[in-house]
Amino acid sequence: MAHDTSIDSLPKDLCCAEILTRLDPESLYNCKRVSKSWYDLIKNRSFTQLYSEKRPKVTAFFFQSSDMYPEKLQFVSIYPNQEYISDPPACLGFLDSPAILQNSCNGLLLWLVGNSRIIVSNPLASRCLPIIWTFDFLEIFAYGVAIDPLVSDHFKFVVFVEETKGCYKVKVFSSEGLNWSDGSETRVVNNRALPYSCARGVYLNGILYWELRDHSLLAYDVGNEIDCVMRLPLVRKKTRSVEFREPGCLGVSKGKLWYCRVIGTVVNVWQTKQMPLARSGNWVVKHKINLCGVMRDYPEMKFRGSQALAFLNDCREILLSIKHGVIEFSFGDNAVRSMYKARRYMSRKNVDASEYVQPSMFFPFVQSLALFNL
């Protein structure tokens, strides 16, 4: 007996889901308004997982394009036919002072306005949510946004604060109830080195990481409310340890934590287990690639001063900054896959400053269904 393989023979929900997974996030957002059945389908967790699996992990990036005006941003799409965002802070137009982009997490953007106003926004839906402080503190040590569309439609804002002299606490704001947790006391930041940037928490597989200036990571397990400090591989040049002005690059693949640094013209990549959180990190070298060989194939590219910016393709590729641009570099064959223009505009007073995009001014952008629920 012949099997009917026409589209009419498929379950309606399955057929509809397969079609919807091919849409870009903005079109999918509009589809939620078509009917209640489509809304329920798109909101279903199984569809969220199916859609996320078919989407690239990083679809674009922002970078601060001016050394004089950090609020000025450029948006660069990595994959063809991706959505274009011409004015990411458009939903913040009601503000009376510039908003400085601090971080990004699965498509949500974290902004600083003035000295203390924090706003989380969704640039696709033109929505934003201010984080209202409901407690007093002396100083902020580190903060970041955590959202995983496969776990929840809501985000959490995690902050390490010095509540009283010498007493540090972890406070967590939830967008679900619009409230703060009571906060648990932490000892891991006492007498610790400062992070490269208190705002640059990197959220990977349920854990927020901040790179500290003593070659270690402050890690916070958002779900289990556990924190610790993990060692990073100590980078040495001859007999002396190397000092850095910018953080390295973190990624996760198959439960392994990856870390990359470019030293001179050498790309160094290490790997260790991500869980459970432990003080000792047993890092092993995965790649050590001298870009001098790559420069012979691409003489127009200048790698001295390059920085690792973001892992791609299950940590098989990475974005590296070059002069006036960003390249997609593959570890498998040491090849440059793509190059994107990322020119910075330098003031006359700062003409000697690096024209390379630095990690502190680079923000990877990731699409997810959770964006539309802010």
pLDDT of residue 7: 37
d(Cα 208, Cα 205) in Å, to the nearest integer?
A: 8
Q: What is the identity of the amino acid at 373? A: N
Helix, strand or coil, per DSSP, at residue 2: coil
Phi, psi of 14 (to 5 degrees): -65, -45
What order do you get walking across the sheet with 256-263 strand by strand?
A: 249-253, 256-263, 266-273, 284-290
pLDDT of residue 124: 79
pTM of the model: 0.87
Helix, strand or coil, per DSSP, at residue 123: coil
Mean pLDDT by 10 residues, the chain (374 residues): 41 70 76 84 76 75 89 85 69 87 93 92 87 94 91 90 92 95 86 89 94 93 91 73 86 91 92 70 90 81 87 93 91 89 76 76 82 64
Q: 178-186: long-range contacts (C-beta < 8 A, 24 or more apart)? A: 180/134, 180/135, 183/135, 184/225, 186/160, 186/227
d(Cα 342, Cα 173) in Å, to the nearest integer?
A: 34
Phi, psi of 188 (to 5 degrees): -70, -20
Sign of the alpha-carbon dihedral angle for 28, 30, 34, 35: positive
Q: At what angle do helices 12-20 and 36-43 cross, to 10 degrees?
A: 70
Phi, psi of 276 (to 5 degrees): -80, 165
Length of the chain: 374
What are 100's two structure tokens? 């400085």
Domains (range + CATH), the chain: 1-54 (no CATH), 55-373 (2.120.10.30)
pLDDT of residue 28: 79
